[in-house]
Amino acid sequence: MTPLQTFYKSLLIGTVISALLAACATSPLGRKQLILMPESQMQQMGATSYQQIKQSRTLSNNARDQRYVRCVASAITDAMGGGNWEVNLFADDTANAFALPGGKIGVHTGLLDVAQTPDQLAAVLGHEVGHVIAHHSNERMSIQFATQTGGQLLQALSGEPSPEKQLLFAALGIGAQVGVQLPFSRKHESESDLIGLELMAKAGFDPRASVTLWQNMAKQGGEKPPEFLSTHPSNETRIQELSQNMNKALPLYRKAKQSGETPNCQR
Ligand SMILES: [Zn+2]
């Protein structure tokens, strides 16, 4: 490498590093994050992916269950300050649920066999919404970006569908090809658990149901494990961490109940 090339290389590295430092953000729990994607772009990607999911899957035609799922979801989203969330129950026997940037929530009918009460369903939705408000997809994408060179980065953002774009969609947690779901890291999982716990308690759902939910998931883990388990391992650490934070969540739950915050979601 000539001295000039070396100079340009260090200049490029310097530019990238300052861009990365400028992009440091903080998660709701105070963890430092690398956030490179504009939030508007994340929301657009979430909305596009959701559209694809709606086109390729069937909505449940059980109006009562649709109402029930929307009732629990809106109590959770209200607890985090509202906003416009689209919530749909999909006719799908696999036990799964997801939330996407851009205010999109999807629940599979199969989940209602595992999350058997409104409080347990609230635990799943609180967790999923937790990933969205902590910008976990953005962080995951940003890390992928940071490991690519500048040229690939620009290419990935614009133009035709490409393997890079596929990777970006996969970072959303669902994939451009519907069905591809990447697990979040343990760090993201733990953060979403705690955000979800707080949200469900504030919404007036019994936070202790989160522990029951994960026990239910683990119980069904035998022959035909819930799909949710493939991206959300139910382990002792998760249950332990939730239990350890119950002393913070229970007062929020009692306060919500005292102020008449009691979601009446019937199936
Ligand atoms: Zn998760």
User: Mean pLDDT of successive 10-residue segments in the chain (267 residues)?
Assistant: 56 54 77 85 90 93 98 96 93 93 96 96 97 90 67 57 60 46 79 96 98 89 71 81 97 96 91
What residues contact 172, with CB distance under 8 A and at least 6 apart? 45, 46, 49, 100, 101, 137, 141
What span, in angstroms and rounded, lies between the C-alpha atoms of 161 and 142? 19
What residues contact 244, with CB distance under 8 A and at least 6 apart? none
Question: What is the structure's pLDDT at 6?
Answer: 55
Nearest to 228, CA basis, from 132, 113, 141, 143? 113
CA 98–ligand 1 middle distance (angstroms): 9
Question: What is the structure's pLDDT at 21?
Answer: 53
Question: What is the structure's pLDDT at 185?
Answer: 83
CA 260–ligand 1 middle distance (angstroms): 30
CA 212–ligand 1 middle distance (angstroms): 17
What residues contact 140, with CB distance under 8 A and at least 6 apart? 171, 182, 184, 188
What span, in angstroms and rounded, lies between the C-alpha atoms of 159 and 86? 28
Rounded to two decimals, what is the model's pTM? 0.81
Helix (H, G, I), strand (E, B) or coil at 88: strand
Distances (CA, A) of 19 to 31, 42, 165: 19, 19, 21
Question: What is the structure's pLDDT at 148?
Answer: 61
Question: What is the structure's pLDDT at 41?
Answer: 87
CB 49 within 8 A of CB 98: no
CA 154–ligand 1 middle distance (angstroms): 29
CA 213–ligand 1 middle distance (angstroms): 14
Question: What is the structure's pLDDT at 237?
Answer: 86
Catalytic annotation, residues:
128
Question: What is the structure's pLDDT at 228?
Answer: 78
CB 122 within 8 A of CB 72: yes
